Amino acid sequence: MVDGAASRKCFDQLGGRFDEKLRQWCKLGRMRYVNHMYFAQPRKALVGQQMALLTIIGFWAFYALILSLRAALLDFPAQATLFERRLMVAVVGVFVTWLLYMGLRLADRRSLGFRVSMAFVGALPCALLLASANFYIFNLYDPISLFKDPSVGKTVEELKAQLGLSFWQEIADISVTHYFFLIAWASLYVAIGYAREVREAERKTSRFAQAAQDAELRSLRYQVNPHFLFNTLNSLSSLVITGKPNEAESMIQNLSNFYRTSLSSDPLEDVTLEEEVDLQRLYLEIEGVRYPKRLRTEIDIPSELMNQHVPALILQPLVENAIKYGVSRATRPVTIIIKAQLDADNIVLSVADDGEAMEAGHVGGNGIGLANVRDRLEARYKSSARLDTHAVSSGGFVATLTLPLSHRLKA
């Protein structure tokens, strides 16, 4: 006979090594996740070059069109020549605005106030440069008269000389007009960049929320195995202590088959109801070794429901609860019934036992296992699924799962 204290010590040592290895894996996983999120993915510009160029060309095309319409309404002479010069100014404006864009890109990912300040400050030299080009194209390069009456002045320069405007006053006057035009484009740039940043933040928040939900589902899914393993090892220890090596060997074999099947699946992926029921059969075989005379099982599931998908091991805590509070406390045979039926667009799964009568506040309705099931349903289905439990007055306990169908049944 094997000493019970020695077997428990062995189990504790194995469990400690498993916990330490699990912590190492989790730490390594977090490091890889951080490296992937923050170092492996270079940040892109908030407004790409193609988008920036399209907006710049659009702004200056609008500038040339509006001024040409104004000249046509005022019936200026030499409108064709003036239109050509506006196009020249527009080309220079595209180049200057592109320089402004390259400067504003340096402020990407900074605070909104800093970006706005950069726009207002950066537009000043650009406006002066553009005003100088505008002054040269219209006033120094082959001046033409804008007035049909020769007594008013042959050229704009003669008119300004009569008004007493200096060169720098003229540059300043033109700069103000172009400054507000450049500010309008810079505001559009900042708005587009900020909107994209908000969308990126929303997507990142969504990814983090999904990652948190996946982590919660994994945690809840993995919580089932240690809880089940603890109970099974206790049962195995009892068999060893009471000198039942054959039963212990059978339980170990069934336990190996159970974990080989359950751990091979992704915790975030659903399994078919048929696969879930097969897992519960393995578990019931394990407990059948412990309670060979008291445990009876019935499975009543229509074949057309076997292909429906359910969360892996979702029935495990319910069956375990029936074993713990129904079979283990009874002195007579107890039947555990696993049933499934269709209810509109839902599938209703139930695990019932006909054990001894229980009090209304029995822990079976609020234990750790059932709380785990409720948490998994909330994380996976929100309000679309639920777990209902109740004690039967004549004896026994019923746990009912209501889940949405994974796919519609063929008529």
Could you write out the three-class secondary structure of 199-233? HHHHHHHHHHHHHHHHHHHHHHHHHHHHHHHHHHH
The residues pairing with 352 across neighbouring beta strands, listed in sequence order, are 337, 398
Q: What are the boundaries of each domain within the chain?
A: 49-207, 244-404
Q: Mind listing the pLDDT tens digit for each residue in 166-198?
A: 667 777 878 888 899 899 999 999 999 888 888
For residue 400, the model assigns a pLDDT of 95
Measure the CA–CA gap between 72 and 79, rounded to whole angstroms: 7
Cβ contact 68:79 at 8 Å: yes
The position carrying tokens 């667009």 is: 345
The two structure tokens encoding residue 345? 């667009």
pLDDT of residue 247: 83
Which residue numbers in the chain have pLDDT < 70? 1-43, 76-78, 140-167, 213-228, 262-268, 359-368, 410-411
For 214-248, what is each residue's pLDDT tens digit? 666 566 555 555 666 777 787 788 888 888 888 88
Query: 375 burial class (0-12, 13-18, 19+ CB within 10 angstroms)?
Result: middle
pLDDT at 351: 95
List, in sequence order, every residue forming a beta bridge with 338; answer none if it has no partner: 299, 351
Cβ 94 vs Cβ 56: under 8 Å? yes
Task: With beta carbons less than 8 A apart as the criterion, state whether 177 and 102 touch.
Answer: no
How much is the pLDDT for 228?
A: 66
Q: Which CATH number is correct for 244-404, 1.10.10.10, 3.30.565.10, 3.90.1150.10, 3.40.50.300?
A: 3.30.565.10
> What are 389's strand-pairing partners?
399
Integer Cα distance of 141 and 117 in angstroms: 35
Residue 62 tokens read as 């609008």
Helices (H), 151-166: 156-163
| Nearest-10 Cα torsion for 360, 364, 367, 372 | -120
Q: Choose among 124, 92, 119, 89: nearest CA to 106.
A: 119
Q: Residue 349, SS3?
A: strand
